A and B are shown apart, each in its own frame.
Chain A
Amino acid sequence: MRAFGNKPLVAGLAGAVLLFLYAPLLVMAFFSFNASQFTGLPFKGFTLSWYEKVLENETLMRSIGASVYVGIGTVILSMLIGLPAAIALDRYDFPGKAAFRRVVMLPIVLPGVITGVALLSFYITIGFRLSLNTIMLGQGTALTCIYVTEVFARLQQLGRSQEEAAYNLGASQIETFFKVTLPNLKSAIFGTMLIVFSISFDEIAVTYLLTGRENTLPMALWSILRREATPEINAVATLVIAFSIVLIVIGVVASRGKDLVAASKS
């Protein structure tokens, strides 16, 4: 038997931690239905008016569109860079491999603000105008590491025998990739896409520095939070959380839930 220790005590503590994780989110959701001008007690009655206000708020609605645009672009861009990088790291040895891996992984430990400052100074020097596209470039580069860890982990599990068999049967590199490697990576890629999208959708540090005239949702929320926050924020927050839950559940089911741990270990 694996379990040791006082069962009720361990379960109780674990439950307390889960409560700690969920209480703040539930508090937000609770106040989003509160018919009061202020976030806080007392509860003055149930209302959906804060949700109506959100839907009427054009700045917020436009920022959601911008976030979706940036998110989709980031997902595609980081896949196009991350997939070959993972294959190169898994299948081949080359000089500078350790350094290459370290550069790819650097954005995980670096504060987003620093990545943002570096990219901003680069854009300004070469004369890029800041826009949603510059945000996409920044996020796409920084989030490539997620594809690299995920796809690398899957490639390690798979081994190379199938690809070698394909080569021996005369398949070209392109054919082998599309007919053998890619189908095997499908679920890992799909899970990673959703994870990258949800990070991008929530990203603020890099975005903060690279944003142009148009704002993403976190930036729009940020400017509301910095001023006087109305309970409208609770409604947006609840919607955003509900939306992330849907994405996460799909993503975790698709990639069998091992990704986050894998990402943390590399």
Chain B
Amino acid sequence: MEDAATPVMTTASVAVAESTGISPGALKAKKIERARMLFWLLPPAAWFFVFMILPYCMLFYYSLGSVDYVVFKPGLSLANFVRVFTTEPYLSVMLKSAKIGIYTAILSSIIAYPLAFYLAFHASEAIKRYVYLLVIVPWWASYLVKAYAWKTILGTGGLINASLLGLGVIDHPLTLFLYNEFSVTLTLAYIFTPFAVLSIYAQLERVPTSLIEVALDQGATRMEIFRKIVLPISIPGIIAGGVITFSLGFGDFVAPALVGGADSIMISNIVINLLGAAYDWPMAAAIGLIIIALGLGLITLAHRLEHQFQVRF
């Protein structure tokens, strides 16, 4: 707010700089530009420093300490990080979470592709708007509710079992649909499919109509057009969507708790458990930091991959 008075001078000094071309004026204009920038930048930067950077630093501080009978002891030890990689079940659960995250990303991309393709190439403008809305609605519908819905479908009293029983295919309810890694992956893929659709669609929209027309004129088959034009162009969309679905799947704790079994516990469930029942804050902090590092690495990698595969016209 303190620079509310400066803009009046801005215009004056800009005018001076423009009419005379002397460097002191230009310097002053630059200074005013800087003041304007700080006006917008400082408040959010300060906020993020206090409510994000500091908390992450806290995490670092905790991760170096230890816990002795539910009392935190500060320290300077990397033992917790070593424990993540050497003590079961941390590393294996993290790998399993990554596996479920990757399956989720792949499955949701595969499910999403036909719909994205339809939106980009087949739907008329009028239909497109409605289908687009139809994709967004389930994406924003309650997360918990969506996970729970699969429980009612896959469970022993669920729709699939009831139908199979009704058809006489089986004579007692099957338990193999629920409480395993399959049900966790399916539920997560279901939740993230709308997101994958939007992400792939945004990329498919970029395919120039003329390119397809030329290819058709030259006698290319549909399969060739798809393989050599459409698919390569859509890859950055698949990567962009995949990175986010992977991260969301990797860090999920709702699906494992609702539709997962005893063996499908994931890393976020472990973190929550460490904070609550186990009261091992330093360990939770160490796992958190490793995941943050992985997350930053993933953003960078995705950025690079997207650029590498981005087709320029």
Write the residues of chain A forming the contact surface with B, with a CB cutoff of 8 angstroms. Answer: 1-7, 10-11, 13-14, 16-18, 20-25, 27-28, 31, 38-42, 81-82, 84-85, 87-88, 91-92, 94, 100, 102-106, 108-114, 117-122, 125, 137, 141, 144, 167-176, 195, 198-199, 202, 204-205, 208-209, 218, 221-222, 225-226, 229, 233-234, 236-237, 240-241, 244-245, 247-249, 252, 257, 260-261, 264-265
Contact = CB atoms under 8 A, between A and B. Distances in A.
B272 A265 contact: no
Contacts of A240: 141-142, 145
B152 A27 contact: yes
Interface of B: 3-8, 10-11, 14, 33, 36-37, 39-41, 43-45, 47-48, 51-56, 58-59, 62, 111-112, 114-115, 117-119, 121-122, 129, 131-146, 148-153, 155, 157-159, 162-163, 166, 190, 193-195, 197-199, 201-202, 209, 212-213, 216, 222, 225-226, 240-241, 243-244, 247-248, 250-254, 257-258, 267-268, 271-272, 275, 281, 284-285, 288, 291-292, 295-296, 298-299
Contacts of B136: 248, 252, 257, 260
Given A84-B43, A109-B243, 20 more contacts: A17-B112, A25-B138, A39-B157, A40-B162, A81-B43, A84-B44, A104-B48, A106-B299, A109-B298, A113-B251, A121-B62, A167-B10, A167-B11, A221-B144, A233-B148, A241-B145, A260-B198, A261-B202, A264-B199, A264-B240
Contact of A117 (B6, B11, B288): B288
A90 B145 CA distance: 38
Contacts of B152: 24, 27-28, 31, 39-40, 234
B62 A205 contact: no
Contact of B37 (A91, A174, A205, A252): A91
Contacts of A18: 115, 131, 134-135
A176 B226 CA distance: 49
A41 B159 CA distance: 7
25 contacts: A1-B212, A10-B121, A14-B117, A16-B114, A21-B135, A31-B152, A39-B157, A84-B39, A85-B44, A111-B250, A111-B251, A121-B55, A121-B62, A168-B11, A168-B14, A173-B7, A202-B140, A208-B272, A209-B272, A218-B143, A221-B142, A222-B254, A252-B136, A260-B195, A264-B241
B44 A88 contact: yes
Chain A residues touching B, majority SS? helix
A261 B243 contact: no
A118 B58 contact: yes
In this complex, the member of B112, B121, B141 whose beta carbon has the largest number of chain A beta carbons within 10 angstroms is: B141
The 5 nearest A-B residue pairs measured at CB: A111-B251, A14-B118, A24-B149, A40-B157, A13-B114
Contact of B118 (A13, A28, A112, A260): A13
Contacts, number: 313
Nearest to B221: A4
Chain B residues touching A, majority SS? helix
Nearest to B196: A264
A41 B296 CA distance: 46
B275 to A, nearest CB: 7
In this complex, the member of A119, A176, A199 whose beta carbon has the largest number of chain B beta carbons within 10 angstroms is: A119
A38 B55 contact: no
Given A172-B4, A208-B272, A265 B240 contact: yes
Contacts of B295: 106, 109-110
B44 A21 contact: no
B140 A248 contact: yes
A89 to B, nearest CB: 9
Contacts of A174: 4
A102 B296 CA distance: 8
A118 B55 contact: yes
Given A114-B291, A117-B284, A261-B198, A17 B193 contact: yes
A155 to B, nearest CB: 11
A1 to B, nearest CB: 7
Contacts of B142: 202, 218, 221, 237, 240-241, 244
